[in-house]
Structure 1
Amino acid sequence: MRVLLSTIGSRGDVEPLVALALRIREGGGEALVCVPPDFREWIAGLGIPVTTVGPSVRPSAKPARPANVSPLARRRMIEGTVAAQFERIPEAAAGCDLLVGCGAMQIAAPSVAEMLGIGYVHVHYCPISLPSPHHAPPPLAWDADRTAGFAQQWADDARRWNQHWGPALNEQRKAAGLAAVDDVRSHVFTDRPWLAADPLLGPWPGPDDPAVTQTGAWIRPGDATLPPEVETFLQGGEPPIYFGLGSTPTAGPGTGDAMLAAARTAGRRAIVAQGWAGLPIRAAGPDCLVVGEVDHRALFPRVAAAVHHGGAGTTTAAARAGVPQLVIPQRYDQDYWAGRVTALDIGAAHPAGRPLTKESLTAALQVALGSGAAAEALSPQIRTDGAAVAAERLLAVA
């Protein structure tokens, strides 16, 4: 069986696809991926065929981006995104038996599957990105009335999907000889979406709902290693505190130094991952190691706490490692994961919208460090077989 796995997003969107691709290969199938060009070299190095789509997504982490995008710029971005998907995904899916689209931005993927006459599965990594009467839609860049009831918010969300994505999608579908779509969100999400999130950490609010298949989080199999300089630093003292915001734009030029000051106040060393935004560190010393991308599977079990942005993958990795977390939510689903960390008492959350200062981080970090026992107790309950479960289900379609 030949399966195309497609997504557009950051490392947190792509890493689960790689985990699933490796599991499909272990199960005797063939997996290909279609992702932004930022990840071509890494994935090709794993022996997985790669097709790239769209521009680099790394610039999205830069804090200098304007807060408000003009309607014209948004329309051009949408048209370009949809056109690029209709151009590249069919190339990648040629000869495939199944197409798996991950994330809300897979606007063209179900149409491509329809064009090619192959099966389609749509996947999300967080419960709140799927419609439910139990929660509101995740906050997006466009205006939304967050005071309305959940049903009204989801209805408004569906209307915005049609307004923003409908014209570009239907223009491409018409060119491909396909009928127009009048409910874009339902078309993209399908009536049987999958949820690749741990059922304890990110449970679907309707566990008996047959319309949503929850597989567990997709975690890459195999051993993880660390660069020599990280190993040397870890062996040189007590477990440090990890700080990293992934692909999330930094909250300000002093964020890195505020993190380092909070670690020092707690009497801890620090490892700071600069991330795509290049988190600046001006007060680094021998008690601080500044790194680029580091495999969380290898690093997190060896730190005293993980301070991060609240991405689905990072939250799951820290929970699996059994270390307390401090979540600094910035956008989309990150408030949800911050809420789950606090609800499970495995860490704390920095107050949303508040500036990141030495004082605010120190206070929140103190709370998080007090959750060590609960985090350690929860760790064995985090499932590690999500990608294997998903691969088995996909291969059974053949």
Structure 2
Amino acid sequence: MRVLLSTIGTRGDVQPMVALAMALRELGQEARLCVPPDFRDWIEGLRFPVVPIGPQLRPTASAAPPAQAPPTPEQRRRMIEGTVAVQFATIPAAAEGCDVIVAGGAMSMAAHSVAERLGIGYVYVSYCPVTLPSPHHAPVPVWGQAPADATADNGALWAEDARRWNDTVGAALNAHRAAAGLAPVADTRGHMFTDRPWLAADPALGPWPEPDGAGVVQTGAWILPDPRPLPPDLEKFLDDGEPPVCVGFGSVRAPRDVARATLGAARALGRRVIVLRGWAGLSPADDGPDCLAIDEADQQALFPRVAAVVHHGGAGTTTAAALAGTPQVVVPQLCDQHYWARRAGELGIGIAHPPAAPTAESLAEALGRALHAGVAARAASLAGQVRTDGAAVAARRLLDYIRG
């Protein structure tokens, strides 16, 4: 079996796909990836073929600029038209000779149409329950609208979400389908997601709310093993004192001065700090001996050795902190990150920071609560429930799917 794993997202979308590629290789199957060019060198270093798609994404994660007006509907429509065109131009060649396309994330708008045109299988995967339709939760705001009122009817909200998908994506999608000799689709979102999407999220952290998993295949999170040792300077810093606080925002934009605010909060609590610069280039602007800034590190090796993790609420980082049994302070920025912040609070394994920009004072308050012995105990207890076999489960299901 040859599989194309396709996504145009940032690291949080790409890394699970690499985990699935590894699991498929373990089963003797072939995988190739169609991902943004930022990840080409890394993935090719793991000996997987890569077809780059779209522009470099790293520049979009520079430190958050002053508040800007959201794009107008017309600007959003033009951006979507460009994105759809790039996918229809790139994915068909990437999928040549493949038996199935696995498409990750809601921006994978053309993959199902390409699979249909090639006569091959197709699976859509989400990394968070609330991005998939259910009467038990509201849609994640993705088209510039305000978050849903808690009293609103979820069914009506999902119907409106479907209309937005049709209004924003439908025309561009169907124009390219017509050029490929395919019939138009009336339900853009349903066409992309299918009636049996996969959910690559841990059941203990992000359970699918429907009884018996109706309509969704939940495999567990796709966690990539990372054999890299921690850098020597990081090892020394960890060994030189009590467990520090770690702050990082991965490959997304970060609030201004969040690293400096975390350092101030940690110092107020007598803690040291590790800053993971990430794509946003976080910097505490302080070279004191109680702070170490590094580009990145293996979260699975680092998080068990820190006192708490301050992060953006990406599915991968939330899962890594939970697997480590480490308390977390989640400072969500957009989309599903608000869900993971809420789940950390509901499970008692961390603190959801308020939507306002974090300050040293607000982070000190949140960290103080996260470092409470009760939170640490609940985080340690939940760690034993987090599954690590999600990618292997998905790889086996994919084989079953192709074999019919």
TM, length-normalised to structure 1: 0.97
Q: Using the alignment, how far apart are the partners of 2:53 and 2:371 within structure 1? A: 41
The one-letter code sitting in structure 2 at the alignment partner of 1:277 is: A
Alignment partner of 1:334 out of 313, 333, 337:
337
> What is the number of equivalent residue pairs in this alignment?
396
Q: How does 1:38-117 map to 2 (within 5 A)?
A: 38-62=38-62, 63-64=64-65, 66-117=68-119
Task: After superposition, give the CA deviation of every residue in 1:218-237 in whole Å (9 maximum; x if it has no partner).
Answer: 01135342222212211222
Match runs of 1:213-292 below 5 Å: 213-221=217-225, 223-252=227-256, 254-292=257-295
Large movers: runs of 4+ above 6 Å: none
Cα drift, residue 72 of structure 1: 3.5
Alignment gaps of 5+ in structure 2:
none
Q: Encode CA deviations 1:4-27: one digit per residue, 9 max, x unaligned.
A: 011111111111001000000000
Name the CA distance, whole Å, in 1 between partners of 2:91 and 2:305: 40
Partner of 2:9: 9
How far residue 180 of structure 1 moved from its aligned partner, in angstroms, is 0.7
Matches within 5 A, 1:308-387: 308-352=311-355, 354-370=356-372, 371-387=375-391
Q: Does 1:300 align with 2:279?
A: no
Alpha-carbon shift at residue 73 of structure 1 (Å): 2.6
Percent of matched pairs sharing the same residue:
61
Aligned-residue offset at 1:312: 0.3
On the 8 A contact 1:123/1:195 being kept in 2, the answer is yes
Q: Which amino acid aligns with 2:346?
A: A
* Distance apart, 1:144 and its partner CA: 5.0
Q: Retained in 1: the 8 A contact 2:141–2:147?
A: no
State the alpha-carbon separation in 2 of the partners of residues 33 and 344 from structure 1: 35
* Separation in structure 2 between the aligned mates of residue 207 and residue 8 of structure 1, nearest angstrom: 31
What one-letter code is carried by the residue in structure 2 that aligns with 1:319? A
Moved more, 88-97 or 291-300: 291-300
- Contact (CA 8 Å) 2:226, 2:298: kept in 1 or not? no
| AA matched with 2:252 | T
Query: Equivalent residues in 2 for 1:44-193 (5 A)?
Result: 44-62=44-62, 63-64=64-65, 66-144=68-146, 146-147=148-149, 148-193=152-197
Q: 1:152-194 deviations in whole A, cap 9, x for unaligned?
A: 1111100000000011101110110001111100000001100
Letter in 1 for 2:365: A
Name the CA distance, whole Å, in 2 between partners of 1:295 and 1:337.
21
Deviation at 1:30? Answer: 0.3
Amino acid at match of 2:244: P
Whether the 8 Å CA contact 1:224–1:297 is kept in 2: the answer is: no
Distance in 2, matches of 1:218 and 1:124, equals 11
Matches within 5 A, 1:22-33: 22-33=22-33
Aligned partner letter, 1:42: W
| Offset of residue 248 of structure 1 | 2.6
Q: Is the contact made by 1:216 and 1:383 (CA closer than 8 Å) also made in structure 2?
A: yes
Q: Distance in 2 between matches of 1:292 and 1:11?
A: 14
Tell me if the contact between 1:261 and 1:358 (Cα under 8 Å) persists in the aligned partners: yes
After superposition, what is the alpha-carbon deviation per residue over 1:15-43, rounded to whole angstroms, capped at 9, x for unaligned? 10010000000001001111001100000
**Please, which runs of 5 or more residues in structure 1 have no aligned partner?**
none
2:179 aligned partner, one-letter code: A
CA distance in 2, matches of 1:301, 1:224: 15
8 Å CA contact retained: 1:145, 1:153? no
Letter in 2 for 1:244: G
| Higher mean C-alpha displacement, 171-180 vs 219-228 | 219-228
Residue by residue over 1:197-232, the C-alpha shift from the partner in whole angstroms, topping out at 9 and shown as x without a partner, is 000100000141331000000011353422222122
Look up the match of 1:198. Answer: 202
- Name the aligned partner's letter for residue 81 of structure 2: E
Check whether the contact 1:144–1:153 (CA below 8 A) recurs between aligned residues.
no
Deviation per CA, 1:56-77, whole angstroms, max 9, x where unpaired? 1112223238332133332221
Counterparts in 2 of 1:67 and 1:225: CA distance versus 1, 3 Å: farther
